[in-house]
Amino acid sequence: MKNIIHTIGATVMLTFTANPGLAEGIRSVNPPALYDPAPNGYSHAMVADDLVMIAGQGGENSQGDLAPDFESQVAQAYRNLAIALEAAGARANQVVKLTTYVVDHDQAKLAVLTRQLKAVFGTHLPTQALVPVPRLALDGMLFEVDAIAVLDFGNVQR
């Protein structure tokens, strides 16, 4: 894959983190609109050539507060995912894989998840794994989503 750097203005300059420990061609991305994950030992996104890997995004707002209900958390998690994707130079239609984690999964939650997913991705529906779990990292956290995106579909070798 060809390495292309997408320039979207000062936002990218502020969100790419210089890390001398990373291999050439790999950059970490931590958008200022999301909390600083470094104290917890990770980055929100990593860009490696044409691939973007987004860490699990939960339903917490920029102050770290979680809404009490599942649908609000799912909607916020997808807003957080969109912020991380944009900061890495990607769009929703470049996402190829999602992994979602749902606490106490049931059919009612699947309907909410599907509705929120289609609101974000429209007719572009990436592959997805849904993993039912008993709990997530934060007390009260009900949903988490991580993603893989490809930055340059036009140059992917087939």
pLDDT tens-digit readout, 149-158:
999 855 544 3
Mean pLDDT across the chain = 85
Which tokens belong to 148? 């893989």
| pLDDT tens for each residue of 1-34 | 333 333 333 333 334 444 555 677 799 999 999 9
pLDDT value at residue 72? 97
What pLDDT score was predicted for residue 132? 97
Token pair 């993993």 in the structure block, residue: 131
Tokens 């939650």 -> residue: 109
pLDDT at position 69, please? 96
Residue 63: per-residue pLDDT: 83
Per-residue model confidence (pLDDT) at position 85: 96
Give me the DSSP letters along 49-83.
Answer: TTEEEEEEEESB-TTSPBPSSHHHHHHHHHHHHHH
Phi and psi at residue 41, to the nearest 5°: 85, 30
What is the chain written as a DSSP string? ----PPP-SHHHHHHEEP-TTSPTTEEEE--TTS---GGGT--SEEEETTEEEEEEEESB-TTSPBPSSHHHHHHHHHHHHHHHHHHTT--GGGEEEEEEEEET--HHHHHHHHHHHHHHHTT---EEEEEEES--SSTT--EEEEEEEES-GGG---
For residue 98, the cross-strand partners are 128, 147
Q: How confident is the model at residue 20, as a pLDDT?
A: 53
Give me the pLDDT at residue 126, please. Answer: 96
The two three-digit tokens of residue 43, written as one number: 């980055």
Task: Mark the ranges of the chain whose per-residue pLDDT is less than 50.
Answer: 1-18, 156-158
Q: What is the spatial distance between Cα 106 and Cα 90, in angstroms, rounded to a whole number?
A: 31
pTM for the model: 0.81
